[in-house]
């Protein structure tokens, strides 16, 4: 089966600019996650979707971050405006259900100038 697909792989922007990341989960996976991974750290959850519903967004900085999964399949994560501290790898993962193993995409490496 095809894995989790993310795009773009790399993004370089200036601070205060907007940026968006896209994720296509594994077919049939109802649960989708967005994580942020800082250099030398483990992934940290930003938001979790069950189908199209965001069921855990407690760690999402809502003043500048937003996400959507309108049809319960693909998802986008947006940052507006980006700050220097947002530089990280943004990983998307999916699972058949929330109690099943998670599988990650390759991530988007974001660099803020």
Partner 1 sequence: GENVEQHPSTLSVQEGDSAVIKCTYSDSASNYFPWYKQELGKRPQLIIDIRSNVGEKKDQRIAVTLNKTAKHFSLHITETQPEDSAVYFCAARGLGNTPLVFGKGTRLSVIA
Assess 32 for contact with partner 1 (CB under 8 A): no
CB nearer partner 1, residue 5 or residue 13: 5
CB 77 within 8 A of CB 46: yes
The whole-angstrom separation of Cα 20 and Cα 101 is: 26
Residue partners of 16: CB distance under 8 A and separation at least 6: 81, 82, 83
Counting Cα atoms < 13 Å in the Cβ hemisphere of 85 gives 3
Which residue stretch of 11-19, 34-42, 65-73, 77-85 sits at the interface with partner 1 (rule: CB under 8 A)? 34-42
Q: How many CB atoms lie within 10 A of CB 14?
A: 10
Residue closer to partner 1 by CB (options 37, 66) is 37
Based on the shown chain and the rule CB under 8 A, indicate whether residue 28 belongs to the binding site for partner 1.
no
Residue 29, interface with partner 1 (CB under 8 A)? no
Q: Between residues 3 and 18, which has the closer beta carbon with respect to partner 1?
A: 3
* Site pattern 48..77 for partner 1 (x: CB under 8 A): x------xx---------------------
Residue 17 binding partner 1, by CB under 8 A: no
CA–CA distance, 65 with 80 (Å, rounded to integer): 6
């Amino acid at each position: 089966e095809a894995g989790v697909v993310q795009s773009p792989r790399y993004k370089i922007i200036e601070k205060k600019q907007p940026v968006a990341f896209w994720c296509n989960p594994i077919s049939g996976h109802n649960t989708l996650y967005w994580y942020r991974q800082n250099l030398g750290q483990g992934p940290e959850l930003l938001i979790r979707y069950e189908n199209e519903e965001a069921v855990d967004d407690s760690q999402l900085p809502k003043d500048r971050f937003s996400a959507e999964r309108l049809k319960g399949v693909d998802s986008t994560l947006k940052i507006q405006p980006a700050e220097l501290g947002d530089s990280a790898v943004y990983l998307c993962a999916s699972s058949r259900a929330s109690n099943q193993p998670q599988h990650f995409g390759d991530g988007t490496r974001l660099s803020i100038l």
